[in-house]
């Protein structure tokens, strides 16, 4: 695993939960979630995966997770109660949240307690990993909302291996003079026209060119985007990162409608929608704008050139 893999940051999954139907539903399948440590201070989070197989009340499978700079895999056993819709995971080791280097850190022995729910957004296991009574004040609970994914979804390990193969040079900021017109993709250029544009903000800038930085919004979940400026493709299929931005420069026209930045979602990541923070900077201004895109709508920001008084 390359050391350049990003650390995970905090994202709370907000779900609108509805009553689960009366018919029993097995929890066999693949589940993804973000583990949030249940304490007041800021901590790194856990990118988590469950791969489950249910046979009657017995559940077996894997609990895999990425924390700080390490990937870990545990075999799990547990039980599922159809009537209570309750999934219990037996004690297993999970890396202590205050560990600095996950490759030589210490473990907390924790069990899982989860309830199956269905919402309009999908099927979820909602609950926490908790320690035993003796260590509950040392090993804080890890709250995870797992979302059920399609069977053909790549595993967490496959996602991480794909990220590790991304050349570091591809994450560095291009110099302003690089001709952005050389970037082409027929499929992306065709699909962007089929989605509506939602104008999020109009930003006043004073320079002839401005710097654009795009980060994943709070948490890394494999969001990939393309960016258009004045209907021209300027960034193609770039992975949003929480630490290293997608960076480029654009020239600002005196005609306001000629300065539209459009974020196109190439995917929805592990947790829809595709969300980013755009930072727009010139010598006198700095703006931060939250953007969300999906398969029906692009997010847009317009630059308006002004004269300084």
Percent of the chain exceeding pLDDT 70 equals 83
**pLDDT of residue 258 exceeding 80:** no
Average pLDDT over residues 222-227: 89
pLDDT at 209: 92
Q: In the numeric block, which tokens belong to residue 115?
A: 């309830």
Q: Nearest Cα to 295, choosing from 275, 270, 266, 271?
A: 266
**C-alpha span between 221 and 269 (Å, rounded):** 5
**pLDDT of residue 7 exceeding 70:** no
**C-alpha span between 236 and 184 (Å, rounded):** 8
Pick the CATH number of 17-164 from 2.120.10.30, 2.40.128.120, 2.40.70.10, 2.60.40.1220: 2.40.128.120
pLDDT at 219: 74
Average pLDDT over residues 286-307: 93
**C-alpha span between 24 and 27 (Å, rounded):** 10
Whole-structure pTM value:
0.51
| pLDDT tens per residue across span 54-72 | 999 999 999 999 887 788 9
**C-alpha span between 126 and 144 (Å, rounded):** 6
pLDDT at 79: 97
Q: How many CB atoms lie within 10 A of CB 180?
A: 18
**C-alpha span between 270 and 272 (Å, rounded):** 7
pLDDT at 179: 36
pLDDT at 163: 66
**pLDDT of residue 97 exceeding 60:** yes
Q: Mean pLDDT of all residues in the chain?
A: 82
The structural domains of the chain, with segments of one domain joined by +, span 17-164, 177-305
Average pLDDT over residues 8-26: 41
């Amino acid at each position: 695993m390359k050391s350049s893999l990003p650390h995970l940051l905090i994202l709370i999954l907000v779900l609108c939960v509805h009553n689960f139907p009366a018919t029993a539903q097995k929890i066999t399948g693949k589940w993804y979630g973000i583990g949030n440590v249940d304490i007041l201070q800021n901590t790194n989070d856990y990118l988590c995966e469950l791969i489950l197989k249910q046979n009657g009340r017995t559940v077996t499978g894997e609990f895999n997770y990425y924390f700080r700079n390490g990937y870990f895999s545990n075999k799990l056993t547990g039980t599922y109660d159809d009537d209570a819709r309750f999934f219990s995971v037996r004690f297993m080791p999970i890396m202590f949240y205050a560990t600095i280097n996950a490759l030589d850190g210490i473990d907390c022995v924790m069990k899982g307690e989860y309830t199956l729910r269905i919402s309009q957004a999908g099927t979820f296991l909602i609950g926490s990993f908790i320690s035993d009574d003796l260590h509950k004040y040392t090993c804080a609970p890890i709250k995870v909302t797992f979302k059920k994914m399609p069977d053909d979804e790549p595993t967490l390990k496959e996602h991480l291996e794909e990220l590790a193969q991304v050349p570091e040079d591809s994450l560095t900021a291009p110099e302003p003079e690089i001709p952005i017109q050389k970037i082409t993709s027929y499929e992306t250029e065709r699909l962007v026209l089929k989605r509506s544009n939602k104008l999020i903000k109009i930003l006043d800038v004073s320079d002839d060119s401005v710097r654009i930085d795009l980060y994943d919004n709070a948490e890394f979940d494999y969001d990939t985007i393309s960016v258009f400026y004045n209907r021209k493709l300027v960034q193609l299929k770039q992975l949003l990162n929480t630490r290293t931005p997608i960076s480029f420069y654009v020239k600002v026209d005196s005609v306001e409608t000629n300065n539209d930045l459009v974020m196109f979602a190439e995917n929805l990541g592990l947790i829809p929608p595709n969300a980013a923070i755009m930072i727009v900077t010139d010598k006198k201004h700095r703006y931060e704008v939250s953007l969300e895109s999906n398969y029906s709508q692009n997010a847009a920001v317009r630059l308006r050139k002004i004269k300084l008084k």
